[in-house]
Amino acid sequence: MRHVHTLLRGRWRDTWADDLLAAAVVSVLLIPQSLAYALLAGLPAEVGLYASLLPLLFYALLGSSPYLAVGPVAVLALMTAQTLVQAPVGIGSQEAALVLAAEVGLLLGLAALLRLDALAALLSVPVLHGFETGATLAIAASQLPVLLGSPAQGFDLPTLLRSAQISEWQIQPSTLGFGLGALGLLLLSRRFLRGHWARVAPLAVLMLAVLASWAVQAPLRGVHLVGHLPPLHLGLAWPSLDLELWQALLPGAALIALMAYVSSLVVAESLGRRRRERVDARRELMGLAGANVAAAFSGGMPVGGSFSRSSLMYDAGSRSRMSSVYTAVLMGVAAFSLAAPLAWLPRSVLAASILVAVLSGLQWRPFVQAWRYARAEALLMAGVTLLVLNVGVTAGLGLGVLGSIALLLQRTARPHVALIGRIPGTEHYRNAGRYQVQLHPEVLGLRIDESMLFTNVRSLVDVVQSQLQPQTRRVVLQMSPVNSIDFSGLEALRELQETLQAQGLRLDLSELKGPVLDRLKSGGWEAWFRGQVYLSHHHGMMADLPEGRDWVSP
Amino acid sequence: MRHVHTLLRGRWRDTWADDLLAAAVVSVLLIPQSLAYALLAGLPAEVGLYASLLPLLFYALLGSSPYLAVGPVAVLALMTAQTLVQAPVGIGSQEAALVLAAEVGLLLGLAALLRLDALAALLSVPVLHGFETGATLAIAASQLPVLLGSPAQGFDLPTLLRSAQISEWQIQPSTLGFGLGALGLLLLSRRFLRGHWARVAPLAVLMLAVLASWAVQAPLRGVHLVGHLPPLHLGLAWPSLDLELWQALLPGAALIALMAYVSSLVVAESLGRRRRERVDARRELMGLAGANVAAAFSGGMPVGGSFSRSSLMYDAGSRSRMSSVYTAVLMGVAAFSLAAPLAWLPRSVLAASILVAVLSGLQWRPFVQAWRYARAEALLMAGVTLLVLNVGVTAGLGLGVLGSIALLLQRTARPHVALIGRIPGTEHYRNAGRYQVQLHPEVLGLRIDESMLFTNVRSLVDVVQSQLQPQTRRVVLQMSPVNSIDFSGLEALRELQETLQAQGLRLDLSELKGPVLDRLKSGGWEAWFRGQVYLSHHHGMMADLPEGRDWVSP
């Protein structure tokens, strides 16, 4: 009941007007999107409506962000479509969607319990952006045949082309007519309308299309319609407990859960930061878990936080999670009153609204920026996009996560090593390759710009060895870039000392970080370390330096 | 021909006496080990001899270390035994071993061509030590039934126990007698002999056992003998080109190649360092590749660098890779002359020599040291050992590599964040939680002890946000621990600046590393970065500081 308390907290009396307005604005967009994304997932249109009722209440109860608009999302709908294919033969996709939503919800709940919110780190910016771009293009590609009235289907380019070939590139002119009309109106509204008018446009186009469809008696002309929605019933029912079905959908559910969490978190954080509000990642996990479980019990599909609707919610002035509650209520009213007119809605009009919604979110600049900053990451980004578009979401995400880890390993594997010298007249030491510095012939100062980890320590001894001069008597490693030392690093440090000792040289360390030194001490390194640890590199260099020898410029 | 040149380089006239002595010492140990490790791999004893002839010549030609004693190795023999089980039914294990050696050689050659020598980093110290301990115990366990004259077989504890149960714990007393006798003599020789005598002991025990076996007519008493070796023939022959066989052995070959390379490199490096000689990792890859391909064409098995024999080679004074050439020649002579007497050798005597050789290498101290230094790594080490012993080498190595990567991700995921203040009267800044420092109320100095990578940057904005004070006007991030910034880090930095700007605060950076700054500049960050970059953190803190405000002690 603590959650209900934090939800209401007596504040709703102050905020209800703002929240209700935001809810109205969001509902106007949510109606067409919920129907369209359900169809995108290969499910009946009303599933989208069900997924926009109870899930919003549960997010309001358990979540944390006042701006996150939960419900059907295009990318998750695409992932749902690709996952439902895995269901065993003979099981209806609507039944499978409930199980999938239940699994997504349970996995998110488990992640919240086990405090796995750090798992979001698995998706780096290149992977996330590459994935979203690929998914957007795949969604657009899958909606083209619907717009054209073609029977072709598929969520990746090869499947789509094969399917179009089988159907002999057949199109249905009247359906296409409705689709192009809607597309034109939507693009024009985006171009010329602002403010409230722009927000109402998608719903207005839908209503216009219904009127036109009825006026020209579209079914007689062969136009593909959404068709009669069954009477709305919010009866709660358990999702199927068929073990085989649960197993078949589990891998897909894990990816959907990860993507639902990360994409929602990114949206909630970026909106929250504009008002210095912090997002509680665990609460978000709980909120999304509750929303998905609610979807599973009320005839819905996997849900997440929508970028476009959340931005709208923020702009429209939402102040608390009560706006989600109001949205659910408005959606309930709409669902009851829209059943009859929606039967007349051409599918190609919904396809047009999906196309406009997703393609407006496409961003190519990050590809350029990544290419200029780090080619390997740009290639990873593009690779993920191409895989999602040509193979599927699983392949894309899999490559992305593995690729990110490989780049991380490579990054730590080849540390930058700097011979450091003294800036004349100061106690500052800098890379001798970049600054005018002085070196001392008998004391070698080195800085290795990386933590000492198993990925790189194999070369530590060789790196130091290669910098030794004939006159060197002592080596001082400046440890300020060393943020941690793992067990392999500890062994390498010991081996370095032994190797230097065998040549009559002493190894000293300077500017060791506090936590690193603590760890070394607790591991008993004082039993074998023979050198000194200096607070500043300058003290380390000057210790027992014979007065006669002078610093030299290299 | 360049390799032949570097091998001979006219120096062999100076070093031949030392090299020949080292070769003789190593051969004396290699004879029993080569036979024993072939049997350990589930192959006829003579395969070990073949693997000690041509492969040594090819290593001498292509490799780099004058100390590495290439040939059959216990751990690789264990891995070979576990891999040969994967061969399709109906293919002899001797034929499969040739294909396996060919694959190992080709993979190592490919790694040399693609400059994948950094792959050695995949095996951290905990994984390597855990693996070697587990493999040693598994080898010892597999040799116990041979010592006891029991028909039980297996390379992991469950298989071994099941097999012993099926054979009803049957043992063969005469075989056991020979085994215990050899074991006793070997242990006594280790305890009481030193220098040359100790080195000759394993071969002497073998010869004694042959004499005793002949004297008591061991076959009549049921003693399990090595049996007649076929006449030695060094005919070259292609390994089978059966595609199914190659595919079945490939995963095992990859692991054997990785282990052969890493364990040989560790040995070659640790010996080379004692004389300030650097090991060329790529040349080692080439040498091992050549040795394994040679083994595949001359009736051998996968080979690598042996720790025990390499130490012997170093101690005995080897000075060039000609010692490997001499070892091969001596092994050829021995192989011709030993065929007849070896027929009388009891298998349990070879088992005893394996037991003594591998168990003497067991080290428990690294487990204790790792436990004291880093529990997670100690648990990984122990986990790898237990998996190798109870499931197999693939499971052990697989868990090890994944576990190391998981620990690396976790390590970079939760960076240590320090609020840093000025040590009074100096220009030095240290962690305010550890040192007596002064802070400035309007300028916040922070240090994040980790590179800015996708694994941790998601929390960057929150971390900085949580340190802001009401009076803060400016934030200076000390960047000396930041060794690299990936694309996700760049985006986070931009987001941090935007968030601070929205609150009227400026973000400055200090002590940026040269390579990091170069990368930022090449990525066009100057187009959006509004702050300053200071060479020293003190300059960053003092910049446009109002004189009226004083530093305060927290």
DSSP one-letter string for B415-426: --EEEEEEPTTS
**Single-letter amino acid code for the residue at A420:** I
H or E element in which residue B126 lies: helix B125-148
Token pair of A329 as six digits: 């209520």
**Single-letter amino acid code for the residue at B120:** A
Mind listing the pLDDT tens digit of every residue in chain A (554 residues)? 455 556 666 577 778 888 888 898 888 889 888 998 999 999 998 899 999 999 999 999 999 899 999 999 999 999 999 999 989 888 889 999 999 999 999 999 999 988 777 777 778 889 989 998 999 999 999 889 999 988 888 888 999 999 999 988 888 999 999 999 999 999 999 889 887 788 788 888 988 999 999 999 888 888 888 877 777 666 677 788 888 999 999 999 999 999 999 999 888 888 887 777 778 888 999 999 999 999 999 989 999 999 889 988 888 888 889 999 999 999 999 888 877 888 888 989 989 988 988 888 889 999 999 999 989 999 999 999 999 999 988 889 888 988 888 888 877 777 788 899 998 888 888 899 888 899 988 899 999 888 898 888 878 888 898 889 888 999 999 998 898 899 999 989 998 999 899 889 999 999 998 889 998 998 888 889 999 999 889 989 988 776 546 778 76
Q: Model confidence over A168-206: pLDDT tens digits?
A: 888 899 999 999 999 999 999 988 988 778 878 888 898
Q: What is the CA radius of gyration of chain A?
A: 30
- First-residue to last-residue Cα distance in chain A: 72
The position carrying tokens 């110290």 is B125
Contact criterion met (CB below 8 Å) for B460 and B448: yes
Note which residues in 409-448 of chain A have CB less than 8 A from chain B.
Answer: 409-416, 418, 428, 431, 434
Note which residues in 108-137 of chain A have CB less than 8 A from chain B.
Answer: 118, 120-121, 123-126
Which pLDDT value is given to residue B235? 64
* Chain center to CA of A42: 24
Q: How far apart are CA A86 and CA A456, in angstroms?
A: 42
- Helix residue spans in A343-451 (DSSP H): 347-359, 365-373, 375-390, 393-413
Verify whether the Cβ–Cβ distance B523 to A125 is below 8 Å.
no
Which pLDDT value is given to residue A81? 94
Q: Which of B116, B119, B125, B375 to mutate to test the interface with A (most CBs of A within 10 A)?
A: B125
Residue (of B160, B440, B412) closest to A407 by Cα position: B412
Q: Model confidence over B123-169: pLDDT tens digits?
A: 888 998 999 899 999 989 988 999 998 888 888 899 899 999 998 88
Residue (of B25, B37, B43, B29) closest to B303 by Cα position: B37
Residue A535's contacts (CB-CB under 8 Å, 6 or more residues apart) are A510, A511
Which pLDDT value is given to residue A1? 46
Which pLDDT value is given to residue A17? 84
Q: How far apart are CA A467 and CA A404, in angstroms?
A: 33
State which residue of chain A sits closest to B461, comparing Cα positions: A273
Q: How far apart are CA A494 and CA B365, in angstroms?
A: 15
**A419 forms bridges with which residues in the sheet?**
A446
Q: How far apart are CA B108 and CA B117, in angstroms?
A: 9
Q: Select the residue of A405, A487, A513 nearest B449 (Cβ to Cβ).
A: A513
- First-residue to last-residue Cα distance in chain B: 72
The position carrying tokens 């997932």 is A41
Verify whether the Cβ–Cβ distance B519 to A126 is below 8 Å.
no
Token pair of A332 as six digits: 């309930």
- Of these ranges, A139-143, A383-387, B5-9, B409-413, the one predicted with the greatest mean pLDDT is A383-387
CA distances from A518 to A515, A526, B368, B434, B488 (A): 5, 11, 18, 12, 30
State which residue of chain A sits closest to B116, comparing Cα positions: A410
**What angle, 0 to 180 degrees and rounded to 10, lies between the N-to-C axes of helices A243-273 and A125-148?**
110
**What angle, 0 to 180 degrees and rounded to 10, lies between the N-to-C axes of helices A487-502 and B365-373?**
120
Helix (H, G, I), strand (E, B) or coil at A83: helix
CA distances from A357 to A138, A267, A348 (A): 14, 16, 14
Verify whether the Cβ–Cβ distance B488 to A126 is below 8 Å.
yes
Verify whether the Cβ–Cβ distance B522 to A373 is below 8 Å.
yes
How many Cβ pairs within 8 Å bridge chains A and B?
170
Q: How far apart are CA B480 and CA A449, in angstroms?
A: 9
Q: Counting beta carbons within 10 angstroms of the beta carbon of residue A149, is it exposed (0 to 12), middle (13 to 18) or buried (19 or more)? A: buried
pLDDT, mean over chain B: 88
Verify whether the Cβ–Cβ distance A523 to B373 is below 8 Å.
yes
Contact criterion met (CB below 8 Å) for A460 and A486: no
Q: What share of chain A is helix, strand, coil (3-state, %, to 5)?
A: 65, 5, 30
The C-alpha of A131 sits at a distance from chain B's nearest C-alpha, in angstroms, of 15
**Single-letter amino acid code for the residue at B232:** L
Note which residues in 450-509 of chain A have CB less than 8 A from chain B.
Answer: 450-451, 453-456, 458, 461-462, 465-466, 480-481, 483-484, 486-488, 490-491, 495, 499, 502-503
B2 band by pLDDT with thresholds 50, 70 and 90: low
The C-alpha of A429 sits at a distance from chain B's nearest C-alpha, in angstroms, of 11
Which pLDDT value is given to residue A277? 78
Q: How far apart are CA A81 and CA B292, in angstroms?
A: 49
**Single-letter amino acid code for the residue at A431:** N
Query: Which residues in chain B are contacts of A456 at CB distance < 8 A?
Result: 121
Cα A248–Cα A250–Cα A251 angle in degrees, nearest 5: 100
In this structure, of B119-123, B175-179, B208-212, the range with the lowest mean pLDDT score is B119-123
Q: Select the residue of A125, A372, A415 nearest B454 (Cβ to Cβ).
A: A125
DSSP one-letter string for A456-513: TGGGHHHHHHHH--TT--EEEEE-TT---B-HHHHHHHHHHHHHHHHTT-EEEEES--
The C-alpha of B546 sits at a distance from chain A's nearest C-alpha, in angstroms, of 26
- Helix residue spans in A149-242 (DSSP H): 157-166, 173-192, 195-215
Contact criterion met (CB below 8 Å) for B441 and B475: no
- Helix residue spans in B64-124 (DSSP H): 74-84, 93-113
Q: How far apart are CA B517 and CA B519, in angstroms?
A: 5
pLDDT at B317 over 90: no
Contact criterion met (CB below 8 Å) for B313 and B69: yes
Q: Would you call B372 an interface residue with chain A, using a CB distance cutoff of 8 Å?
A: yes
Q: Model confidence over B237-271: pLDDT tens digits?
A: 778 888 899 999 999 999 999 999 999 988 888 88
Residue (of B260, B246, B312) closest to B55 by Cα position: B260
**Single-letter amino acid code for the residue at A347:** R
* Phi–psi pair at A430, nearest 5 degrees: -140, 165
Verify whether the Cβ–Cβ distance A125 to B487 is below 8 Å.
yes
- DSSP state letter for A531: S
Verify whether the Cβ–Cβ distance A118 to B431 is below 8 Å.
no
**A225 forms bridges with which residues in the sheet?**
A346
H or E element in which residue B431 lies: strand B429-431
CA distances from B498 to A432, B493, B505 (A): 35, 9, 9
Token pair of A63 as six digits: 């979540």
Verify whether the Cβ–Cβ distance B273 to A486 is below 8 Å.
no
Contact criterion met (CB below 8 Å) for B398 and A398: no
* Chain center to CA of A516: 32
State which residue of chain B sits closest to A409, comparing Cα positions: B405
The position carrying tokens 């021995």 is B334
Which pLDDT value is given to residue B466? 87
Q: How far apart are CA B503 and CA A274, in angstroms?
A: 9
Contact criterion met (CB below 8 Å) for A68 and A310: yes
Query: Which residues in chain B are contacts of A428 at CB distance < 8 A?
Result: 536
Q: What is the CA radius of gyration of chain B?
A: 30
Contact criterion met (CB below 8 Å) for B441 and B469: yes
Q: Would you call A379 an interface residue with chain B, using a CB distance cutoff of 8 Å?
A: no
User: Mean pLDDT, to the nearest integer, of B217-243?
Assistant: 79
**B452 forms bridges with which residues in the sheet?**
B485
Q: Would you call B284 an interface residue with chain A, using a CB distance cutoff of 8 Å?
A: no
CA distances from B92 to A70, A259, B98, B101 (A): 62, 50, 10, 15
Q: Report the C-alpha dihedral over residues A425, A429, A431, A434, rounded to 10 degrees.
A: -30
**B420 forms bridges with which residues in the sheet?**
B431
Query: Which residues in chain A are contacts of B125 at CB distance < 8 A?
Result: 454, 487-488, 491
The position carrying tokens 């880093």 is B374
Q: Model confidence over B465-509: pLDDT tens digits?
A: 888 988 899 999 999 889 889 999 998 899 899 989 988 999 999
- Helix residue spans in A10-113 (DSSP H): 12-40, 45-50, 54-62, 74-84, 93-113
